[in-house]
Structure 1
Amino acid sequence: MSAIKRVTNTSEAEALAALLNGDTRTKPTVVVTVASGHTDPYADVERIAAEIGDLADLYLVTTGGHTWAFSNRMTPGTQVYGGAGRVYPVGLAWNVDLKQAPLRFAWNRSEGKKLTGQLIDDALDMAAAAGLFDSARTASTRERRAGTVRSIMSERALVDLVGGDMASVPPQLAQAGVPIERVLAPGMHVDGVLEKKSRWLDIRESRPTAEEALKTYAAGDIVPAQVRSVLAGSADLRLHPDVTVEVFRSDVTGDPDDDLSALLTPGEVVLARVIATGPKWRLSLREVREHDTAREALSLYAGGPPWLDPDAPPPAVVDHVETVPEPQGVEAPAETVPEPAPVAPAKPAVPTPAMMPRRRGEPVRAVRPTPVPAPSPPQEKEVAPAKKAAVQSMSLQVTAIKAEKAHLEAELAGLRDQVSGLRNERVQFAKDLARAARQVETRDVELARMRSQLRRAKQRTAPPEVALPVFADRERGFRHLVEAAWARRIPVGEQPTRPLPAYSIGERFLDSVDALEGIALDKIADVVMEVLTGLAEQSTGRELHQLRTSAGGNAAPQSRPDGAVCYRVSMQIHTPSARRLHFWKCPDGTIELSRVVVHDDMEP
């Protein structure tokens, strides 16, 4: 069980910030804070300590001014206070990429259970990424055990071990990044290494490899895949947690102007047809029809459930926004609050409270006495009038003090009303913020659903694909595609003024076309047609320019002894390893196609 280290003063807060920003940490660090006005955190730190064991350090920051001593020494956006929690992974990359150390928060005590689970999962994920599950164990603390999965509870699989003991399997010790209910199921037999202290059962060694799991897939199969990431012109799909396949716009939609980020949502499960199997997998979403029968997603363990559910609703995608929970209980750092400009007190026209006897324990205030002329020796008849004058003077002083007190009390009451009003406003703002966050999440879910519906609608309304003619002569077949692109895209009225000129095909061009993956053949023919007809020069997206001998701005263009100059044009943009077309422009103005290449290939 991890020890809970309490941070209760400025020096301890500064030391914690120095630890996080230093290079001595070998474990993730969990930081839990207490909301202002509370004595206990929303998160269950005892459960966190028990779950993370020795895999992470745990700090509890109590409420008070020292929380700002911590915040002021952290990179903006990496702080934590106000009842929130955050896990900081090993290293310092989280200072640049805030998503590596996400802020977890609860709006009230009822959300503490959710916050607790998130912090535990973050800590275990980061410990697994740092290799601590293996390095932190010795032969004396673990043993091989087997058992049967009893149930799935609190994102853990509970296992009845042979011999009567119990253990639990967190997702990090089965398949990181996949919900445990998608990995294991009640009744499954499992075996692995039991960590005696934490009672965790590590079953990763018994997991089949991705190659073994995927060997049942064949070309033509329709299979579930999970969207991992999306760009405008490409997306990454996961057939298996360890196998990612890149698909391009032409694999998803027939419209070359479609933005894939409007059709796919990260985390969404889609159906794809297998075009080619591993090791170079190729998938197509365009070739999936509404009534096609899909295969069930593969299981990650023998006898386990499918790791993907095509019928699951698309996940919400919320931008990474750092917010501080429960603002009504959080005050801004002292140094960020502007102090009012000092105002010299006006000289009182009447005696002030400073002239009255001080209360017990109140510091002495220096008061300069009003100079009084030295009295002449009193005469017997003047005693009574002098006392009367003194009483009248004191009465005036008391009256003045009472008036000033009443004035100050009225001001204090007004300030209290203002503070109360501001607190009520901040409470309302917090409620509004929580409501807005829920609305954003709802809208994101709706947006993800609409993306999926739009993609499927495009698939349903897409015209049936016509089989392309097949030529025994590769060059003749490619020239046919170029001419078809010209006839399809150039209006009949413009064809006489924008004819398709004669061109030649270099000896390496068709081989490069066959070897290049990630772009359809008709797309290459489209770009060639644009180059031949001059459309590429008019399109900024084609980025037509001379291919130079080096990266220097003054480098000479690539040329041949016959005077031909090599040019480069983009066939894809905003895509990893974007494809390019190289061609020679000969002295007589004719075009010779040279090669199709990836972005980093600068050879003519």
Structure 2
Amino acid sequence: MSAIKRVTNTSEAEALAALLNGDSRTKPTVVVTVASGHSEPYADVERIAAEIGDLADLYLVTTGGHTWAFSNKMTPGTQVYGGAGRVYPIGVAWNIDLKLAPLRFAWNRSEGKKLTAQLIDDALDMAAAAGLFDSERTASTRERRGGRVVSIMSERALVDLGSGDLASVPPQLAQAGVPIERVLAPGMHVEGVLEKKSRWLDIRESRPTAEEALKTYAVGDIVPAAVRSVLPGSADLRLHPDLTVEVFRSEVTGDPDDDLQALLTPGEVVLARVVATSPKWRLSLREVRENDSAREALSLYAGGPPWLDPDAPPPAPEAEPAASVVEPVETPRPPEVELPPPDTPAPSRPSITPAMMPRRKGEPVRAVRPTPPPSPAPTPATAAPAPPKKAAVQSMSLQVTAIKAENARLEAELADLRDQVSGLRNERVQFAKDLARAARQLETRDAELAKMRSQLRRAKQRNAPPEAAPPVFADRERGFRHLVEAAWARRIPVGEQPTRPLPDYSIGERFLDSVEALEGITIDKIADVVMEVLTGLAEQSTGRELHQLRTSAGGNAAPQSRPDGAVCYRASMQIHTPGARRLHFWKCPDGTIELSRVVVHDDMEP
């Protein structure tokens, strides 16, 4: 069980900030805060400590002025306060990419359970990414065990190891990033390594590889796939958590102007037809019709449930509260007023400055007009002087009267200040409720938008005319030349074809082999770019980035050339894509083009 370290003063808060921003941490750090006006956090820190064990450090920042000291030492957007929590991974990359350390928020105690679960999952995910589950330091506390899954609860699988000995399997020790109910099911037999202290059972080593699991898929099968990410012209689909297949616009829709971000939603489960299998997987969503029967998704473990559910709605993206919405606020209690002893001279009234008035951020200061102290009662000029003893009594009486009047005025001001503080607190509570309601509405709108994207894509698939089977050539070169000519006929208007003909060209001996070996781009796309190079369209397109291939990275390096005088050129077939694909070709002295190879961005060989 992780120790709960409490942060209660400025020096401790600044030390925590220095620790997070330093390079000495060897495990993730969980920071939980207490909301203003509360003495305990919304999150269950005892449960967090029990779940994370020694895989992460846990800090509880109490309410007080030191929350400002912590925030001031942190990079904007990385702070945590006001009842929220955050897990900071090892290193400091989260200072640049805020998604690496997401802010988890709760507006009240009823949301504390969700906050607790999120912080535990974040800590375990970061510990798994850092390899802490496999650390040799825990080798002495581990043993190999097996058992039967008896239930799925609280995002954990409960395993009976025999004789009532129980262990739990979190998603991070089965398949990270996949809900445990999509990985394991009651009744399954699992085996792995038991960590005796935490009672975690690590079953990852018994999980089949993606290649082994996907052996049952064949060309023509319609299978579920999860949308991992979407760009306007391409998307990444996952057939297995460890296998991602890139699909392009032409494999999703027949409209070349469609934006895939309007048709697909990250997290959505779609049906796709297998066009090619390992090692160069290809999928097509266009070739799926409503009445086609689909295969069930893979089971990640033998006897387990399908890891994808095509009928499940895509998860709504989590909206992180903006760092500027809520600031660490500590409202001081108004001071108690003490009555001075009777023989104390009446105190002069302290002036109330604007800085002393509680106000919301951005609210103009409301100045308080100081009230002058009451003037002493005038003594009639004709009054006879009182005896010394009687004069002292009268003076004391006047002082007491003045003090009572001042106290009454201060109490009235104090009551007004308390009313203002109470009003600000009520406004803050209402603001929190409004923000939570807006977040729920946003989640609903995101879900509706995802549903509409899916409906639009299916409508396009229903209305799309059936694709004619492409011609098949036994001769590879003849087949490729046909694709180039088809691209020319499709893209060059009839009126321009006489003035922009398709010239003769040659195909190098390594070109077609490189086309077959290159992954992540279709042969139709390659033929399109070749047509642009041959007709001169590539020279007019900034996206093609047409230039000579040089012998080195130096700006003055000579271009790659051959003894016959041919010069090698390079054209982009993709941009803004990891490992973007390139076309290499030779421009011969007589002006003809010889296709050399298709390569990835970092391959600079002609």
- Matched residue of 1:55: which SS? coil
- Note the alpha carbon deviations across 1:301-357, whole angstroms, 9 max, x for none: 22111111111111113465544887696679x9x989x99x9x99979769xxxxx
1:232 aligns with 2:232: yes
CA contact 2:68–2:328 (8 Å) conserved in 1: no
| Aligned-residue offset at 1:130 | 2.3
1:63–1:467 Cα change, 3 Å: same
CA distance in 1, matches of 2:508, 2:165: 72
CA distance in 1, matches of 2:103, 2:229: 22
| Aligned-residue offset at 1:283 | 2.6
CA distance in 2, matches of 1:502, 1:460: 40
Q: Which amino acid aligns with 2:123?
A: A
1:598 aligns with 2:600: yes
TM-score scaled by length of structure 1: 0.84
CA contact 2:225–2:271 (8 Å) conserved in 1: yes
1:128–1:520 Cα change, 3 Å: closer
When the two structures are aligned, how many residues end up with a matched partner?
Answer: 574
1:28-67, aligned counterparts within 5 Å?
Answer: 28-67=28-67
Of 434, 454, 464, the residue aligned with 1:462 is: 464
| Aligned-residue offset at 1:558 | 3.8
| Aligned-residue offset at 1:428 | 3.0
- Note the alpha carbon deviations across 1:370-400, whole angstroms, 9 max, x for none: xxxxxxxxxxx97459999999999998888
1:90 aligns with 2:77: no
The residue aligned with 1:7 is 7
1:4–1:512 Cα change, 3 Å: closer
1:76–1:384 Cα change, 3 Å: closer
**More divergent stretch after superposition (479-488 vs 79-88):** 479-488
1:525–1:165 Cα change, 3 Å: closer
- Note the alpha carbon deviations across 1:4-52, whole angstroms, 9 max, x for none: 2211111222222222222332222221111000011111111112222
Of 446, 449, 460, the residue aligned with 1:447 is: 449
The residue aligned with 1:108 is 108
CA distance in 1, matches of 2:477, 2:318: 49
CA contact 1:233–1:574 (8 Å) conserved in 2: no
CA distance in 2, matches of 1:145, 1:507: 57
1:435–1:499 Cα change, 3 Å: same
TM-score scaled by length of structure 2: 0.83
Of 481, 485, 488, the residue aligned with 1:486 is: 488
- Note the alpha carbon deviations across 1:98-132, whole angstroms, 9 max, x for none: 22221111111001111111111112222222222
**More divergent stretch after superposition (221-230 vs 409-418):** 409-418
| Aligned-residue offset at 1:225 | 1.8
- Note the alpha carbon deviations across 1:54-106, whole angstroms, 9 max, x for none: 22222211111111222222222221111111112222222222222211111
- Matched residue of 1:211: which SS? helix
CA contact 2:81–2:327 (8 Å) conserved in 1: no
1:537-556, aligned counterparts within 5 Å?
Answer: 537-556=539-558
1:588–1:397 Cα change, 3 Å: farther
| Aligned-residue offset at 1:430 | 2.2
- Matched residue of 1:110: which SS? helix
1:207–1:197 Cα change, 3 Å: same
1:286–1:416 Cα change, 3 Å: same
**More divergent stretch after superposition (230-239 vs 156-165):** 230-239
Structure 1: segments with no counterpart, 5+ residues: 353-380
Q: Which amino acid aligns with 1:173?
A: L
The residue aligned with 1:162 is 162
CA contact 2:588–2:594 (8 Å) conserved in 1: yes
- Matched residue of 2:216: which SS? coil
- Matched residue of 2:54: which SS? helix
CA distance in 2, matches of 1:195, 1:325: 42
CA contact 1:103–1:322 (8 Å) conserved in 2: no
The residue aligned with 2:351 is none
Alignment identity in percent? 87
The residue aligned with 1:304 is 304
CA contact 1:232–1:574 (8 Å) conserved in 2: no
Q: Which amino acid aligns with 1:53?
A: G
| Aligned-residue offset at 1:251 | 3.0
- Matched residue of 1:208: which SS? coil
1:481–1:450 Cα change, 3 Å: same
CA distance in 1, matches of 2:479, 2:174: 51
The residue aligned with 1:583 is 585
| Aligned-residue offset at 1:227 | 2.0
CA distance in 1, matches of 2:550, 2:131: 46
Q: Which amino acid aligns with 1:147?
A: G
1:433 aligns with 2:435: yes
CA distance in 2, matches of 1:562, 1:189: 68
The residue aligned with 1:130 is 130
CA distance in 2, matches of 1:598, 1:120: 40
1:476 aligns with 2:478: yes
CA distance in 1, matches of 2:408, 2:570: 85
1:220 aligns with 2:220: yes
